Structure 1
Amino acid sequence: MDYRLFEWINGWAGKYGWLDLLMIVMTDYGPYLFAILLGVLLLLKKHRSGGILAGCTLALALSFSFMIGQLWERARPFVTHDNVNLLLSKEPNASFPSDHTTGAFAIAFALCHYNKTLGNILLILALLIGISRPYVGHHYPGDVFAGMTVAFLAAQLVQYGMKRFRARSANVSETAS
């Protein structure tokens, strides 16, 4: 089923120049947009807490992704199959999970907790990055879904940790008073 869905998404590649361009831009430059936004949030004192939240979520999600990739090595579609529409060259390293997707969704999910509007906009952009990965021939949809799942779990863990930290800080403040 994963390969069939990959074939359907990747089958659109090469049919519409504007769609190819959009998917190439999302794959090549989308992660930079997220990195720049994260940097801006960290630089702006007013939004630094959102940047820290997103940065912690990103670090945790990519750490999980790295560990999963070490345990489960999956070849990229263009390595395994001959009929892939490969729009961009890529090293034939492990495919599972998609780091582009993991990173984008980690920042987006984290910022949904900080600023709903910004988070929702970033979720749309992260989804476009995720779709672009099988479209350009680099990942199976399952790799993308795994990246989304890892990012979501990392965001939930960071949120849980923040709530626990705030609760402990409040208890320490009450005890000190």
Structure 2
Amino acid sequence: MTTTTLAGHALDGAGIDGSLYGDVTDFARHTHWLNGTVSAFTSYGIALFAVFMLVGWWIARRQGHAVMTAALAAPVAAVLAYLVNDGIKSVFIEPRPCRALPHDFLIEKCPPVNDYAFPSNHTTVAAAVAAALFLVDRRLSALAAVFTLLMAASRVYVGAHYPHDVLAALVVGGVVGFAATWTARRFAVPLVVRLSGGVLRPLLTAPV
């Protein structure tokens, strides 16, 4: 299939909310003092979610095997959400806004042509972690959710995604993250119980 044919079947993101995208990037154009901070967060902030999962694991050591199972499932849920999201990208093949609207203000470098926009991978992974942690510790999940929203907003601010890209990603990540973690907590607890009785006990349970 040629590039032209692919473009003919691609999702027209600019036609959905291109004007709203332009409003956000215009805001970015007039807030140069914020550009560096948001750019750094959108590029490296995903590492915070690894920290959140580590904190979730630490908390789970004192909360029993079911909670520990959910904590261990969180990174698996994040990877699964990424894979599902990547599959959706390959179906909709939405060109990045930097290609459809090349004159709009852009902070993040325009990615390759085959790096599609819908939905946002960064936001999907962040949402999956926040949803998974809901079954570990709700306060930690709420904190992760706040940073997930900031990640979603940052992806539009730097010009990498349309607003609908990040909204869809919040749904994909949230649904897959929660479903995968709930399934693990429902069926994988016996495995964690067995592992807790062996050499992995110090990692899976806290000393009484």
Normalised TM-score (structure 1):
0.83
Match 1:52 to one of 65, 72, 75: 72
The separation in 2 between residues aligned to 1:156 and 1:40, in whole angstroms, is 18
Q: Partner letter of residue 177 of structure 2?
A: A
The separation in 2 between residues aligned to 1:19 and 1:85, in whole angstroms, is 14
Match 1:2 to one of 7, 14, 17: 17
Q: Secondary structure at the match of 1:90?
A: coil
Q: Would the aligned equivalents of 1:112 and 1:119 in 2 still touch at CA under 8 Å?
A: yes
Larger Rg belongs to: 2
- For residues 1-177 of structure 1, the aligned pairs below 5 Å read 1-39=16-54, 41=56, 46=61, 49-92=69-112, 93-162=115-184, 164-165=186-187
Q: Would the aligned equivalents of 1:23 and 1:128 in 2 still touch at CA under 8 Å?
A: no
User: CA separation of 1:3/1:46 partners in 2, compared to 1, >3 Å: closer, same or farther?
Assistant: same
Residue 5 of structure 2: aligned partner: none
Deviation of 1:157 after TM superposition, in Å, equals: 1.7
Deviation of 1:77 after TM superposition, in Å, equals: 0.5
Deviation sequence 1:116-170 (CA, Å, 0-9, x none): 111111111111010011110010111101111111110232244135417999x
Deviation sequence 1:41-99 (CA, Å, 0-9, x none): 55887275453121121022111101111111010101111222111213132111100
Where in structure 2 are there 5+ consecutive unaligned residues? 1-15, 63-67, 192-208
Q: Partner letter of residue 98 of structure 1?
A: S
The separation in 2 between residues aligned to 1:70 and 1:82, in whole angstroms, is 22
> Could you tell which deviates more after superposition, 100-109 or 13-22?
13-22
User: CA separation of 1:38/1:5 partners in 2, compared to 1, >3 Å: closer, same or farther?
Assistant: same
Q: Would the aligned equivalents of 2:41 and 2:151 in 1 still touch at CA under 8 Å?
A: yes
Work out the percentage of aligned pairs sharing the same amino acid.
28
CA RMSD of aligned residues (A): 2.5
The separation in 1 between residues aligned to 2:69 and 2:96, in whole angstroms, is 37
Q: Would the aligned equivalents of 2:81 and 2:176 in 1 still touch at CA under 8 Å?
A: yes
> Could you tell which deviates more after superposition, 129-138 or 12-21?
12-21
Q: Secondary structure at the match of 1:120?
A: helix
Q: Partner letter of residue 55 of structure 1?
A: P
User: CA separation of 1:166/1:57 partners in 2, compared to 1, >3 Å: closer, same or farther?
Assistant: closer
Q: Secondary structure at the match of 1:55?
A: helix
Where in structure 1 are there 5+ consecutive unaligned residues? 170-177
